[in-house]
Chains A and B, each alone.
Chain A
Amino acid sequence: MKLINKNHVVKKMPTRLAVNSICKGLFFLATLFGLLVLAILFYRIFTQGIGHLNFDFFQNFASRRPEEAGVKAALIGSIWLMAVVTPVSLLLGVGTAIYLEEYARKNWITSFIKLNISNLAGVPSIVFGLLGLTVFVRALALDRSVLAAGLTMSLLVLPVIIVAAQEAIRSVPRDLREASYGMGATKWQTILKVVLPAAIPGILTGGILALSRAIGETAPLVVVGIPLFIAFLPQSVMDTFTVLPMQIYNWTSRPQEEFQQVAAAGIIVLLALLILMNSIAVIIRNKFQKRY
C-alpha cells in the first residue's frame, strides 16, 4: 500500500498554484498601497500649495492675512538651525563612532554606551524636547534661542549619525589599516589619514539624512517653546526664531481654509529642501560607492 495517494496530490495542485497567484497579487497590491499614498500626498499638496508659491512667498514674513503670509523667517530659521546642528552633531557623532569602533575595549563601559545609543534612537522626539526645555532653555538659560533649539536637535539626531558613522568606519577594509600600521603609522595617524578619508562618503550620507530629519522635526521645538509666529530674522544664535515645520504647524492649525493652502505651499518648500538634501546624499553615495 502506498502512503501517498498521487492522484490526490495532483488534484490539489491547481488549487495550490491558484492560491499562490492570488496571494502574490495581494502582496503586490499592498506594495502598491505605499506608492499610491505617496502619489496622492504629493498630488494633494502640490495642487493646494502651488497657487501660493510665488516670489512674494519667500519675501514675506508670517501674517494674519493668508494672501500676505510668507516663509522668509521660517526658511532662514531652518538654515540657522542647520548651522548649529551640523557641527555639533557631526563632531559628537563621528567622535563617538571613532571611539567605539577604534579605541573602545570590550568592557562594561563600552557595552553600556552602546546600549545607551541604541535606546536613545528609540526615545520619542518630544521627550528630547522636554530635555531641551529643562537643560538648555531653563538650566543653562539659553532661552528660546537658535542655540537651545539647535543643541536639542543635535542630541535628537546624534544616534542616527553615530550609527551611520560606525557602519562607514567598519566598512573600511582591514588591510588598508594594516598597510598603514605596517609603515610605522600610529593609530591616530591611521585613523586620520586612511580610515576617515575612506569612510567619509558613508559618514556624509548618514549625516545628511540625519540633518534632513532635524529639518523636518517639529515636536521637540514645540516643547522647547520656539514661537509659532515671528516677523523678524535672528541676528545671532542667542536670538529666538522659527523654522519651517513650526510655521507649517501654525498655518495647519488655523481654521481658515486659505491658510491650509499657505501651509501646503510651506510644505512644498520644506519637501523641496529635503529632496535637495537627499539628492546630494544619493550623489555622494553613488560617486564614492565601493572602490575597494
Chain B
Amino acid sequence: MNMTLTGPKKAPTVGIENENADSVFLKETVYETSDLNLWYGENHALKNINLDMYQNEVTAIIGPSGCGKSTYIKTLNRMIELVPDVKTTGQIKYRNRNILDQSYKVEDLRTQVGMVFQKPNPFPKSIYENVIYGPKIHGIKNKKILDQIVEKSLKGAAIWDEVKDRLHENAYGLSGGQQQRLCIARCLAIEPDVILMDEPTSALDPISTLKIEELVQELKKDFSIIIVTHNMQQAARISDKTAFFLNGEVIEYSDTNTIFSNPNDKRTEDYITGRFG
C-alpha cells in the first residue's frame, strides 16, 4: 500500500486548521483534485474542479440535483467508468498518486476506497456472505479470520446486535436502514482508507437516517469519509468541510461552519437558505 504520508503540497486556503483552535496539526491530504473536467459525450458535467480532502474528516458535497456531485464522488473511485462515453482531463491524486492514470488499477483503488450507495444494495445472499464478499474476492479464505472480520465489521457498522443471531439468513429480510448499515459493514470488511457515501440516507426513514449519521461520526475516527447529500441539514450536522456544487462547478468549499453561517458566495447563500434547489 502506498503509505508514504505527505503533507499538503500546495498551500490550501481552507481546511488546514482543525476546528479545535488549539490544534495546529496539519491533517493528511487524502484526495487532491486539480483541474478536473469531465464530459458525458458532449455534456460538460464537471468543470475545473479543485478540491483537497483530508484524513479522518467528513467532507460533505452538497448542491441541487444535476449539479455534478454524484458524478464527482463516482470519479473518486472511478465508478464513473461504468458509464459509456465518459472523458476526463486533469488529475485526482489519492495519497499522491493520480488515479485517473489508466495504469492505476481500479481494483487496487477500490480496495482502498470503499463506497456506500444511494439505495441499499446488499447481495441476495446471507448477511454473513455479504460481509465476507470483499475479503473473499481478495483471496482471504481462512474461516477464522473471516468470522472475525464479520463480527468486527458488523460491530463497526452498529448492526451486530441486531443480526448476530441470524447471520446466515438472507439480507433481504432486513429493513431498509439495516440493509444500508449492512452495506457499510460490507464496505468496512476490507478496511478501506476512505469511504465514499453517495446520498446514503436518501432512501431511508428519519430514524434510520439518524442512526447512519451517528455512525458516520463514529467512523471518521478510523476512516476518511466523503459524503454526497441533498440534505443540507445533514451536511451541517455531520461534516467537517462542505463543498457546494452548482452546474458542475465548485462554488464554495470551506469549513462546514463557515459555509452555513457565513457563506462567501451569493449562490451558496441562496441555496442554503432554500431559494432554489
A interface residue count range (under 10 / 10 to 19 / 20 to 34 / 35 or more): 20 to 34
Separation of A182 and B111 alpha carbons in the complex (Å): 8
Residue B160 CB within 8 A of the other chain: no
Are A292 and B124 CB-contacts (below 8 A) given A181-B110, A183-B134? yes
Query: Is A178 touching B79 in the complex (CB atoms < 8 A)?
Result: yes
Cross-chain contact A182 with B172 (CB below 8 angstroms): no
Given contacts A175-B119, A291-B124, A291-B172, contact A182 B133 (CB under 8 A): no
B82 neighbours in A (Cβ, 8 Å): 177-178, 181
Q: Contacts A198-B124, A291-B124 given: A184-B137 contact, CB under 8 Å?
A: yes
What is the distance, in angstroms, from A140's C-beta to the closest C-beta of chain B?
A: 41
Instruction: Please indicate the chain A residues that have their CB under 8 angstroms from the CB of B84 in the complex.
Output: 106
A54 to B145, CA, bound (A): 60
Centre residue among A176, A177, A184, A197 by max chain B CB count within 10 A: A184
Which of these, A175, A183, A193, contacts B186 with CB under 8 Å? A183
Q: How many residues of B contact A (CB 8 A)?
A: 29
Smallest distance from the beta carbon of A287 to chain B beta carbons, Å?
A: 13
User: In whole Å, how far is B189's beta carbon from the nearest beta carbon of chain A?
Assistant: 8
Say if the beta carbon of A51 comes within 8 Å of chain B: no
- Chain A 182-196 interface residues, beta-carbon cutoff 8 Å to B: 182-186, 189, 193-194
Q: Is B100 an interface residue (CB 8 A)?
A: no
Q: How far is the CB of B115 from chain A (nearest CB, A)?
A: 4
Task: Tell me whether B138 and A182 are in contact (CB under 8 A).
Answer: no
Q: Tell me if B149 counts as interface (CB < 8 A to partner A).
A: no
Kindly state the separation between the CA atoms of A291 and B110 in the bound complex, as whole angstroms: 27
Nearest to A288 among chain B residues (CB) is: B124
CA–CA, A13 and B121, complex, Å:
55
Q: How far is A189 from B122 in the complex, measured between Cα atoms in Å?
A: 16
Contact of B121 among A179, A185, A193, A197 (CB under 8 A): A179
Among B108, B115, B124, point to the contact of A182 (Cβ < 8 A).
B115
Q: Given A178-B117, A193-B133, is A183 in contact with B123 using a C-beta cutoff of 8 Å?
A: no
Across-interface contacts of B133 in A (CB, < 8 A):
180, 183, 185, 193
Chain A, Cβ-Cβ closest to B136: A193
Q: Quick check: is B146 within 8 A (CB to CB) of the other chain?
A: no
**Are A179 and B137 interface neighbours, CB within 8 A?**
no
Q: CB of B114 within 8 A of chain A?
A: yes
A residues neighboring B (CB under 8 Å): 106, 173, 175-186, 189, 193-194, 197-198, 291-292
Q: Enumerate 21 A-B pairs (CB-CB under 8 Å) in ascending A order.
A: A106-B84, A173-B121, A175-B117, A175-B119, A175-B121, A178-B82, A182-B79, A182-B114, A183-B110, A183-B137, A184-B106, A184-B107, A184-B108, A184-B190, A185-B107, A186-B107, A189-B137, A193-B137, A198-B124, A291-B124, A291-B172
Taking Cβ atoms with an 8 Å cutoff, the residues of B that contact A are 77, 79, 82, 84, 106-111, 114-115, 117, 119, 121-125, 133-134, 137-138, 170, 172, 183, 186-187, 190
Known: A178-B115, A182-B77. 10 other contacts (CB 8 A): A175-B117, A179-B123, A180-B133, A181-B82, A182-B110, A182-B187, A183-B186, A183-B190, A186-B137, A291-B124
